[in-house]
Amino acid sequence: MPLLGNLPAFRRDPLAFFAHLRDDFGDVVRWSLGSRRLTLLSHPEHIAELFGGSQEQFRPVDISWVFRQLVGDSVILSQGADWRRKRDLVQPAVRPRQVRGYAATMVDCAMDAARGWADRQRIDVEQEMNLLTQRIVVRTLFGNDLGDRARAVADAMEVAALELGAELRGIGMLLPDWARTPARRRVLAAVETIDAEVGRLIRARQAAECGTGDGADALGMLLAARDEEGNRLTARQVRDEAVTLWGAGHETTSVGLTWCWYLLSAAPEVRDRLTAELDSVLGGRPPTFDDYDRLVWTRQVVKETLRLYPPVWVVVPRITQGGATLGGEPIPDGTTLCCSPWSTHRDPRWFPDPDAFRPERWDADRKDAASEQAWFPFGGGARTCLGARFALVEMALVIATLAQRFHLDIDPGVVGTAPGLQLRPATAMRATLRDRELCLSGN
């Protein structure tokens, strides 16, 4: 085995590398990143077993120094009883009742974005979606409390996310924790900014003892949460969870929305059906949470986007212990298992014509159990994404609000993928806006 194992091929194009492992070597394939040995699972049943198995047997691996600096000891990096407690404490901040409350903020922010748009204007789609989802996450998490400091925290989050993506794809992942590269120093500086601002906010809220409880923003919910013994999260733990929600919930939905516009722009018949649904369900008014269930095609468009371009293209690997099995076969302890929504979502066994954008796959009378099982952009099992509902509602309501008013005509051509922390477009995605009202009036 060469010293770097498959690192060069993985680094060059991880998505093609995973597809190659799946197509040429089968559903369970061993590969290596330097001294790390991994096993890629591509079959949905194995992946369901991985997610559904106990966390003692399939333990999530802590793979990134950068990530740990950013999220500290939050739910996303915790294990065992500590993880359970934190998950229970964070859950109220993103439960469906809260998301219903956040929906108005999501639509408000999208309306604001639309007010800044004009017919024939040129936009950078990723940048626009990034700003929009950032506003949404800041307002749903912190209300308006961050004020003009939101920009500084957002910039610091951006630095950390970029370095994290670079680390996950490069040799950064193989560096010992004590190594201080220029990239790691940039991360430490960014974390300092985040700590200062978020810490200030938490102290202010604690001192005022307000803005907590039902109907509050997510920070208020975290501050109010109590475990079974009546204990609260400490200020440091609240910081870790708030930063995790921000980090996990911002760029994921931003790139998801960006790819959604890309797919819609290249599929006029899908877009026409979308606008027809919006016109008939909403009749020109802004959407509300109650419209979410009625926007059937919109939801299918979102679901199909997350199939073709899953923002989290590889799920946190799990290491086996205590005699785990897969498909009835024993797996040696210490095996690191990983799976990629990208590669399984584009497997023709589960999705005929897998590269085609076809929201109708998800029609109630067409979809089948196999493709449902093979769709896992949010992971699955006990550690499934805490913000899945938040993300799905946000994506649908943002698309509904903006697509009602504008067509985004993205410049023709294929946009490649740049898998970092999230699956981003490889090049800028520029679009010309077309005001639908003007289109309809023939101007």
Q: Which of 7, 21, 75, 263 is in the footprint of ligand HEM by CB under 6 A?
A: 75
- 259 contacts ligand HEM (rule: CB under 6 A): no
Q: How far is the CB of 204 from ligand HEM (least distance, A)?
A: 22
Q: Cα 86–90–93 angle (5° rounding)?
A: 175
CA 136/CA 257 separation, integer angstroms:
13
- 315 contacts ligand HEM (rule: CB under 6 A): yes
Q: How far is the CB of 331 from ligand HEM (least distance, A)?
A: 18
- With CA atoms as reference, report the closest residue to 371 among 356, 389, 391, 349: 349
- 168 contacts ligand HEM (rule: CB under 6 A): no
CB-based contact 89:240 (threshold 8 Å): no
Q: Which of 383, 405, 407, 424 is in the footprint of ligand HEM by CB under 6 A?
A: 383
C-alpha distances (whole Å) from 398 to each of 13, 68, 140, 278, 411 are: 31, 31, 15, 12, 21
- 220 contacts ligand HEM (rule: CB under 6 A): no
Q: Which of 15, 106, 312, 374 is in the footprint of ligand HEM by CB under 6 A?
A: 312
Q: Which of 98, 105, 252, 275 is in the footprint of ligand HEM by CB under 6 A?
A: 252
Q: Which of 38, 161, 385, 415 is in the footprint of ligand HEM by CB under 6 A?
A: 385
3-state secondary structure at position 4: coil
- 378 contacts ligand HEM (rule: CB under 6 A): yes
**Segment lying near ligand HEM (by CB under 6 A), choices 166-174, 361-369, 376-384, 408-416:** 376-384
- 72 contacts ligand HEM (rule: CB under 6 A): no
CA 75/CA 390 separation, integer angstroms:
17
Which lies closer to ligand HEM via its Cβ, residue 76 or residue 431?
76
Residue type, 102: Y
CA 256/CA 271 separation, integer angstroms:
16
Q: How far is the CB of 70 from ligand HEM (least distance, A)?
A: 13
**How many Cα atoms within 13 Å fall on the side-chain side of residue 401?**
27
CB-based contact 396:255 (threshold 8 Å): no
CB-based contact 85:227 (threshold 8 Å): yes
Q: How far is the CB of 91 from ligand HEM (least distance, A)?
A: 9
Which lies closer to ligand HEM via its Cβ, residue 87 or residue 349?
87
User: Is 260 labelled as part of a ligand binding site?
Assistant: no
Closest residue by beta carbon to ligand HEM:
387
**Segment lying near ligand HEM (by CB under 6 A), choices 145-153, 208-216, 378-386, 427-435:** 378-386
Would the CA dihedral through 249, 252, 256, 257 be positive or negative? positive
Q: Which of 335, 390, 402, 429 is in the footprint of ligand HEM by CB under 6 A?
A: 390
- 92 contacts ligand HEM (rule: CB under 6 A): no
Which lies closer to ligand HEM via its Cβ, residue 172 or residue 247?
247
Q: Which of 15, 33, 70, 94 is in the footprint of ligand HEM by CB under 6 A?
A: 94
DSSP output for 308-357:
HS-SS-SEEEEEE-SS-EETTEE--TT-EEEE-HHHHHT-TTTSSSTTS-
Distance of CA 333 to the CA centre of its chain: 30
- 57 contacts ligand HEM (rule: CB under 6 A): no
- DSSP β-bridge partners for residue 336: 319
Q: How far is the CB of 341 from ligand HEM (least distance, A)?
A: 7
Q: Which of 172, 387, 419, 425 is in the footprint of ligand HEM by CB under 6 A?
A: 387
388-405 and 268-282 helices, crossing angle to 10°: 90
Q: How far is the CB of 249 from ligand HEM (least distance, A)?
A: 3
Q: How far is the CB of 127 from ligand HEM (least distance, A)?
A: 18
Which lies closer to ligand HEM via its Cβ, residue 103 or residue 248?
248
- 391 contacts ligand HEM (rule: CB under 6 A): yes
Q: Which of 7, 21, 40, 76 is in the footprint of ligand HEM by CB under 6 A?
A: 76
C-alpha distances (whole Å) from 300 to each of 94, 101, 108, 276, 306 are: 22, 23, 23, 14, 10
Total residue count of the chain as it appears in this document: 443
Would the CA dihedral through 339, 340, 343, 347 be positive or negative? positive
Q: Which of 39, 42, 134, 253 is in the footprint of ligand HEM by CB under 6 A?
A: 253
- With CA atoms as reference, report the closest residue to 336 among 354, 352, 324, 353: 324
List contacts with ligand HEM (CB under 6 A). Answer: 51, 75-76, 87, 94, 244-245, 248-249, 252-253, 256, 311-312, 315-316, 377-379, 383-387, 390-391
Annotated binding site for heme: 385
